[in-house]
Amino acid sequence: MSVIVYELAGADPSVRFSPHCWKIIWALKHKGLEFDRVPLRFNEIRKLDGKTVPVIHDGGRVLRDSFEIALHLEETYPDRPSLFAGEGGHMLSRFVERWTQLAVHSYLGGAMMMDLFHIIHEDDRDYFRASREARFGRRLEEVPQGREDRLGAFRATLQPVRAMVEAQPFIGGASPLFADYIVAGALQWARVASPMRVLEEDDPLAAWFERILDLHGGIGRATQARA
């Protein structure tokens, strides 16, 4: 029986932009598992008795939270390629997840605010506006102001990962681990949702991200970038 993965989509159901969902799409492919993808808009997520996605159904179990899902996949399918390559990789991924939230999501979430608003379904916009204005403490249109001025500083914060992938193909070494998918999920969020160029073309991180997009039959690349 295939795994079912519920993921966030825009007004066009083929536009799957959640960074957390992308971690799990790549993780499932990494494990070589069959799965069905179910797109949901913001206002449909409540049908799952929860507030966030991804959510997976696997063998009668319902799991939420991308990291807990990754742990479930690792424990349930130990004969498949590892997402962590041991306890050290597990702890590394915990660090990378927190770093990505603080250093990457914190900039991209604000910078792309109106880009996201324009790709979601019109029925989701009241919820999106109210929840994000409460979170940021100002009008939605004001949140991304000055994003270009802050872009250089944001790119500089990526130097720790940039230095890693200059020296080796992936964060995980010769092959990717869940830590790679965590960072790549954030960049896929930007690729799918926004026309903003997050990375310079000659950035080693851009070359690494291209390698991620080509993995697993190019499933990441199959979702079109926003022009």
State pLDDT tens for residues 35-94: 999 999 999 997 777 778 999 999 999 999 999 999 999 999 999 999 999 999 999 999
pLDDT of res. 227 = 75
State the chain's mean pLDDT as an integer: 96
pLDDT score at 47: 74
Q: Which two tokens stand for residue 62?
A: 């319902």
Whole-angstrom distance, CA of residue 64 vs CA of residue 119: 24
**What pLDDT does residue 115 have?**
98
pLDDT tens digits, residue range 27-46?
Answer: 999 999 999 999 999 999 97
Could you tell me the two tokens for 186?
């954030």
Section 18-27 average pLDDT = 98
Per-residue pLDDT of 197-211, as tens digits, reads 999 999 999 999 999
Q: CA angle, corner 7, sides to 138 and 203, nearest 5?
A: 70
In the chain, the domains with their CATH numbers are: 3-222 (1.20.1050.130)
* Residue 38 contacts residue 7 (beta carbons within 8 Å): yes
Q: Where are the alpha helices (DSSP H) in the chain?
A: 19-30, 66-76, 87-99, 106-111, 113-119, 125-136, 147-157, 159-167, 178-193, 204-222
Predicted confidence (pLDDT) per residue in 123-165, tens digit = 999 999 999 999 999 999 999 999 999 999 999 999 999 999 9
pLDDT at residue 98, as a whole number: 98
Report whether pLDDT(1) > 70.
Answer: no
CA terminus-to-terminus distance, the chain = 37
Residue among 216, 211, 209 nearest 161 (CA): 209
Cα–Cα dist 92/208, whole Å: 18
pLDDT (tens digit per residue) in 166-179: 999 999 999 999 99
Q: Yes or no: say if 6 and 53 are a contact pair by the CB < 8 Å rule.
A: yes
Query: Residue 2's pLDDT is what?
Result: 87
140 and 129 in contact (C-beta within 8 Å)? yes
CA-closest candidate to residue 176, choices 203, 221, 223, 214: 214
187 CB-contact burial (10 Å; exposed 0-12 / middle 13-18 / buried 19+)? buried
Of 216, 148, 220, 217, give the one whose Cα is nearest residue 184.
220
8 A C-beta contact, residue 54 and residue 64: yes
* pLDDT of the residue at 51: 78
**Residue 54 CA from chain centroid, whole number:** 10
Q: Which residue has the tokens 């020296």?
A: 167
pTM of the model: 0.97
| pLDDT band per the 50, 70, 90 thresholds, residue 187 | very high
